[in-house]
């Protein structure tokens, strides 16, 4: 069976498509067609629509890769018949009628570094340094803070539809040093999905701190 050549990368809260910059050049050099979605983070429906627009740019089947909140998005979009597999990176993988709040509330309390303004939630520089990217360079932390896309305050309560992971092959990369999405939650979600699971000693951004391990999982999914 020939491998899937199309890969769609979906980011999460306080990020943009540049969070995949460590792995995109390698995927392109290996002959994959790649699009990194710029999620508006204004509603689940808007993020799903943005991902579907990217999917419509390709001919043939695709692999969806979702980081953090991006996992919520690919769980919705993945039901499309053109999707061959799902790769979750320190990501949310809800079941039907579950919200981000439902998943996260069992494992801790919200960070004090979130700043609500005009209906959106920003994260402070200290939040990036302590919660999202504690083991990255100072330059990369500053870039994440500067390019952050704040989510709408309604997103944590959005309810999932029928989850694609029940019918599609799934892979899960657990970030063992994650301070944003608890590693225990990640392991529980991966087990519930029956996903092929790889663990890395990473902050919330394994695709930045452990790009080779992430690339290998994506390659496996395309095969």
Res 22 pLDDT > 80: yes
pLDDT number for residue 3 = 87
Looking up residue 108, the CATH number of its domain turns out to be 3.40.50.1820
Q: Structurally, how many domains does the chain consist of?
A: 1
pLDDT number for residue 94 = 98
Share of the chain above pLDDT 90, in %: 94
What's the token pair of residue 150? 């704040």
Q: Is residue 1 part of a domain?
A: no
Q: Is residue 21 part of a domain?
A: yes
Helix (H, G, I), strand (E, B) or coil at 171: strand
Res 2 pLDDT > 80: no
pLDDT number for residue 43 = 97
pLDDT digits (tens, 9 = 90+) for 24-73: 999 999 999 999 999 999 999 999 999 999 999 999 999 999 999 999 99
Q: Which residues contact 125 (CB under 8 A, 6 or more apart)?
A: 141, 142, 145
Range of the domain at 143: 6-222
pLDDT number for residue 107 = 85
CA distance 223 to 213: 16
pLDDT band at 108 (very low <50, low <70, confident <90, very high): confident
Res 214 pLDDT > 90: yes
Could you tell me whether strands 62-67 and 83-89 are parallel, antiparallel, or unpaired per DSSP bridges?
A: parallel
What's the token pair of residue 188? 């529980």
Q: Is residue 160 part of a domain?
A: yes
Q: What angle do CA 148, 109, 152 make, to 5 degrees?
A: 35
Q: Is residue 62 part of a domain?
A: yes
Q: Is residue 19 part of a domain?
A: yes
Q: Is residue 57 part of a domain?
A: yes
Q: Is residue 65 part of a domain?
A: yes
Q: Between the CA of residue 94 and those of 5, 123, 169, what are the distances in Å? A: 27, 23, 15
Res 111 pLDDT > 80: no
Nearest to 76 by CA among 13, 10, 151, 7: 10
Q: Is residue 98 part of a domain?
A: yes
């Amino acid at each position: 069976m020939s491998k899937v050549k199309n890969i769609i990368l979906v980011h999460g809260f306080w990020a943009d498509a540049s969070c995949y910059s460590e792995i995109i050049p390698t995927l392109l050099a290996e002959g994959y067609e790649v699009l990194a979605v710029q999620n508006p983070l204004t509603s689940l429906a808007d993020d799903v629509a943005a991902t579907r627009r990217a999917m419509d740019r390709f001919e043939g089947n695709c692999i969806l890769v979702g980081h953090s909140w991006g996992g919520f998005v690919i769980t919705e979009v993945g039901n499309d018949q053109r999707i061959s597999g799902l790769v979750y990176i320190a990501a949310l993988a809800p079941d039907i009628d579950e919200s981000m709040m439902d998943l996260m509330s069992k494992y801790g309390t919200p960070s004090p570094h979130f700043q609500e303004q005009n209906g959106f939630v920003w994260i402070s520089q200290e939040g990036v340094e302590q919660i999202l990217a504690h083991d990255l360079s100072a330059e990369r932390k500053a870039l994440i803070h500067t390019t952050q896309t704040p989510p709408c305050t309604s997103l944590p309560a959005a309810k999932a539809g029928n989850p694609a992971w029940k019918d599609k092959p799934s892979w899960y990369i657990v970030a063992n040093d994650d301070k944003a999405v608890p590693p225990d939650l990640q392991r529980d979600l991966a087990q519930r999905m029956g996903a092929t699971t790889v663990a890395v000693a990473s902050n919330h951004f394994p695709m930045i701190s452990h790009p080779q391990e992430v690339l290998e999982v994506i390659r496996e999914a395309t095969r």
